[in-house]
Structure 1
Amino acid sequence: MLPIILLSVFGIVLLFLGFLKTRAVLLPAALLFILIALGAGFLEWNKSYLYFGDMLLINNLAILFSTIVLISAFMVVALSGDFLEDEMAQPAEYYAILLFSIVGAMMMIGYENLIMLFVGVEILSVSMYILTGSDKRNLRSNEAALKYFLMGSFATGFMLFGMALLYGAVGSFTLTDIKSYILLSHGRPSLLLYMGELLVLIGMLFKVSAAPFHFWTPDVYEGAPTLFTAFMSTVVKTAGFAALLQLLSVSFSAIYGFWWVILAAITALTLLAGNLTAVYQNSFKRMMAYSSISHAGYLLIGLAALGQQSRSALVFYSLAYSLATISAFGILLLVAKQHTTDGRPDESYSAFNGLSRNNPLLAFVLAVSMLSLAGIPLTAGFWGKFMLFSAAVDRGMVWILILAVLMSAVGIYYYFRVVIAMYFREGQAGRIRVAPFYQFILIAATALTIILGIVPGLFQNIM
């Protein structure tokens, strides 16, 4: 709970710091606030507490997911130095909204009551609507924000209606009360409960870009400022899957036979939609949007194969995916700024042509992130997929495993297009100057990706 309180206060402090004549203090302050919240979270390690009228649960699993969210947020904020140079940008407001969105994400991770889940979803969603449309001079950003807002509002409506039905069936919003009701009904709960569960799932699956609720993702990811796209594709997705894990493992584990079939079908559809559509993209940023959809499919495997092993697999995969995705968007920010088409940053594959010749470090960082997202051995992404696939095998979900392996092979194709462009195509990419701290973040993320790929047991020992 302490990180939630701290980040709420720090967000307000950042707003007041925006009145200062200099912007130089904003970025260090935002990074410091995130680090303080990260350290405060571990004060409750190996403890289990309920807060806010037993509506928020803090345990080791919640702390691990929150740590991934805070690490991802720290990396994204660390790559935001351009905001301080843009006279039209409002970095104090951006950083404050980012901190508030982390508060919403942490509420989603540790909720014990559906009302707390709804509040967390709304805090996170409203923050993302604002940040998506923050580039007022870009029509694509305005369009993306409107589309995200309208579709997100409908999804939230479904989720809220589902919560109302669950309350009508159980008489409580508490997860443990829902579980007790199902157990006392001897596996035959009322129809209201089944309908409520489905509607809540629809609302949450929209948030994590699972098919067929993914249509907003490519346009929103492409239209939003790249930095906020990186935040959206990592922090929002991690919080969403943590919330789904909490909901399914605590409340609905007793009716696993009902919802796993639905979730397995959505998993298969998400894997197919994400991977096959990504093949045809010419924009790197749009490809990463469909990549995000495909990785939602892999994470859904862990939910469909619900068990103790799937919990650790979901945490590990979320970390591996976040590290690789933020590294990729970090390189895109640098490359797209150097290459412009009609006054707009060039986000196509061709912008990376010949990157390795004058910028070997940037090319290496992007190559490692692509290899990790593709699930190539000696990267964290490989072990993330291996752990999820192992959980599926333990549940006897062989057909999903076969589909996932085939889609992973498809993923290798579109991820390697970037590697081929950097190392085997001729290009006019000049020397890109990178700020030392920016460079440090990219190197740290790459090193951690390789370390977790070589010695994955280091992370498992923590859990």
Structure 2
Amino acid sequence: MDPVSSQLLEMLYVIWGRISYLAGVPVQQFGEWAWRHTSYYLLSPEISLLVGLGIICLIEIFSKRDNFLVVCWVAIISLLGNLMMTIHMMYYTSRYFGYGLGTWWGGLETIDPYALMFKQLMDWGDIMIILALIGYKPLKKYRVEFIILMLAGTIAYDLMVGSSDLLAVYVMTEFGGITGYIMAAFHKKNLRSLEAGLKYFITGAAASGALLFAMSILYGATNETNLYYIQDYLRDPKFAYMPMVIFSIVLLLVAIGYKLGIAPFHLWVADVYEGAPTPVTAFISVFPKTAGYAVLMRLLFIAFISLKQIWIPILTVMSIASMVIGNVMALKQTSFKRMMAYSGISHMGYIMIGVIAAAHATSEMEQTEGFFSALYYVLVYFFMNLGIFVAAMAVESAGGTDHMDSYNGLVRRNPMLTLIFSVIIIALVGLPPTVGFWAKFFVFKSMLLYAPGNAMITALVIFALLTTAMSAFYYMRLLYRMWVLPPALEQNRKFEPILFTRLAILVPALFILLLGVVFVNVPFDYVKEAYFLVYWQKDYQI
């Protein structure tokens, strides 16, 4: 691990120790308690969120005053508790236990740096959204309900990223999805919001049916639901290529493709993004995709690793379709959220390139290259996408709408916000000196290792380069509106977001710049801590 990254992890652990000491629980005593009550310790991040959720519900039920700020701080404290526990687990895992704390609760959940990385990512995302929500006026009526559902969804996605059993994958996917269906339809008097909720629910229900059907077929073929036992079963060629198994893999990819919004299963994405309130769009644009990606990697590289010649061509077609359809459709959008919806589809295509590169690997080093690049891109995309939606919330709070015209002349109304917007947009294109450039660089680098002599990878390279150039057009058009065009008469007044909103916008911008220029290796080494597939050793603990 890079010395800088190691020092950062040590520093976070020291901070954790200081906080626990001030709270009257020295870190050594906490460690002793953790090993006496391991099951509670491993669930402590989710317990922290559950306690915060319960307190917020009690406040909302028994208090008649407007306690929104209190609710926000309770939610943030519970998220910080979650974050501190995952940092503690990450530290112990990397220092004392190699690449995992094992599987627990009958093999349903795996506690490893891979799952812990995604949990920490979602904690930061929740905190950013809550800070931006404090100054967001359009959702004032349902702000507390939104926080309750967001925390409930985060608990589901936290457990989802560690799922190592088909049953846990399905239950957590559905629990997380239900919170999104409700949030998308928050504006009951707005037809577009109702349409978004209904479309999200119908497509989600269809995908859930396909997912459950695929899992039932796979269980019927293998008599197992645990991913590691399925892996052992499918290593036998006489079982691996049964039509039932192949059909279940294809159906699983279709169902997860719907959940992730990957083309050609993307038809719901733009309508849901546009119709849902912007804080909800910020949440569903990254959280289900991040957790879904984590599950997809476990399925492909654990359960179905021996059948990669079946799913590699499918992923390749989905990747090319996502890059082409996402970027072509984004070109003609006049709605900011619809443009970002199609942009998100294209970015899922780029992420799949790293997955395909890892699958094509013939050595451990080549597999790590592809796997790292995909995880790195997910980490960077999470902050880029969340940052741009948080910035959009600031524009809407100042009287703006979802239409692109609301961004005309933004530099005259708020120069600092325009500058931050510009940094995030440049990162989304993949230009230096931002971390978005390194994300695309590592993905393309991993892909080019296999391009010579491989027609499928060569086609992927060509489409990736062409669509990246295409994406620059609609992103730069938005910058042109902000910096060159005059603002509309009704939106000509200057505005200044409140402190919390400014903080929520500044965090992703600093992440994009500092990690793109100064600490380039830090995200890459952080992702290495999460890499578990090559070094995994089965260690079932009930």
Q: C-alpha offsets along residues 183-223 of structure 1, whole Å, 9 cap, x if unaligned?
A: 12368431111111111111111111001110000000000
The aligned residue for residue 448 of structure 1 is 511
Q: 1: distance between equivalents of 2:402 and 2:202?
A: 26
In structure 1, how many angstroms separate the alpha carbons of the residues matched to 2:169 and 2:381? 24
2:224 match: secondary structure: coil
SS at 1:381 equivalent: helix
Match of 1:204 in 2: 256
TM-score (norm 2): 0.81
Aligned counterpart, 2:103: 50
1:388 and 2:443 matched: yes
Alignment partner, residue 66 of structure 2? 22
Against the structure 1 CA distance between its residues 395 and 7, is the aligned structure 2 distance closer, same or farther, given a 3 Å change threshold?
farther
Equivalent residue runs for 1:8-407 within 5 Å? 8-19=50-61, 20=63, 21-23=65-67, 24-45=69-90, 46=93, 47-82=100-135, 88-89=141-142, 91-185=143-237, 188-306=240-358, 307-339=367-399, 345-396=400-451, 397-407=457-467
Query: What do the CA deviations read for 1:113-139 (whole angstroms, capped 9, x no partner)?
Result: 010000110111000001101111211
Amino acid at match of 1:335: V
Q: Give unpaired runs (5+ residues) of structure 2.
A: 1-42, 94-99, 359-366, 452-456, 529-542
CA distance in 1, matches of 2:51, 2:357: 39
Q: Which has the higher contact order (CA 8 A, sep 6+)?
A: 2
Conservation of the 8 A alpha-carbon contact between 2:199 and 2:272 = yes
CA distance in 2, matches of 1:437, 1:80: 9
Encode CA deviations 1:346-398: one digit per residue, 9 max, x unaligned: 22222111111231110011101111111111111111111111222233322
Distance 1:87 1:267 in 2: 39
Q: Which of the pair has more CA radius of gyration?
A: 2
- Whole-angstrom distance in 2 between the partners of 1:390 and 1:253: 23
Which 10-residue stretch deviates more, 111-120 or 326-335?
Answer: 326-335
1:15 touches 1:93 (CA, 8 Å); kept in 2?
no
How far apart in 1 are the matches of 2:57 and 2:447?
Answer: 46
Deviation at 1:85, TM superposition (A): 8.8
How far, CA to CA, are the matches of 2:119 and 2:509 in structure 1?
21
Q: Distance in 2 between matches of 1:228 and 1:25?
A: 21
| Matches of 1:216 and 1:296, distance apart in 2 | 15
Local SS of the residue matching 2:103? strand
| Identity level (%) | 29
**In structure 2, how many angstroms separate the alpha carbons of the residues matched to 1:217 and 1:107?**
24
- Residue in structure 1 matched with residue 473 of structure 2 by the alignment: 413
Q: After superposition, what is the alpha-carbon deviation per residue over 1:284-314, rounded to whole angstroms, capped at 9, x for unaligned? A: 1110111111111111112222232233222
The residue number in structure 1 matching 2:47 is: 5
Change (3 A) 1:170 1:444: same
Indicate the larger mover: 30-39 or 149-158.
Answer: 30-39
Moved runs in structure 1, 4+ residues, more than 4 A? 82-87
Secondary structure at the residue paired with 1:402? helix
Whether 1:457 and 2:499 are equivalent positions in the alignment is: no
Rounded Cα–Cα distance in structure 2 between residues aligned with 1:126 and 1:310: 33
Distance 1:442 1:354 in 2: 19
Structure 1 contact 79–438 (Cα < 8 Å) conserved: yes
Alpha-carbon RMSD: 1.7
Cα 1:423/1:85, change in 2 over 3 Å: closer
C-alpha deviations, 1:102-158, integer Å up to 9, x for none? 111122211110100001101110000011011112111011101110111011100
* 2:500 equivalent to 1:437: yes
Distance 2:335 2:316 in 1: 30
Contact 2:233–2:239 under 8 Å retained in 1? no
Instruction: Give the deviation of 1:83 after TM superposition.
Output: 6.3
Q: In 2, Cα distance between the equivalents of 1:85 and 1:136?
A: 13
Q: TM-score, normalised by structure 1?
A: 0.95
Task: Provide the secondary structure at the position in 1 that maps to 2:107.
Answer: coil
Distance (whole Å) between structure 2 residues aligned to residue 217 and residue 87 of structure 1: 25
Other structure's SS at 1:395 match: coil
Structure 1 stretch 139-148 or stretch 20-29: which is displaced more?
20-29
- In 1, the alpha carbon distance for the partners of 2:230 and 2:344 equals 32
Q: Which shifted more, 177-186 or 411-420?
A: 177-186
Q: How many residues align?
A: 457
* Aligned mates of 1:238, 1:110 — CA distance in 2: 12
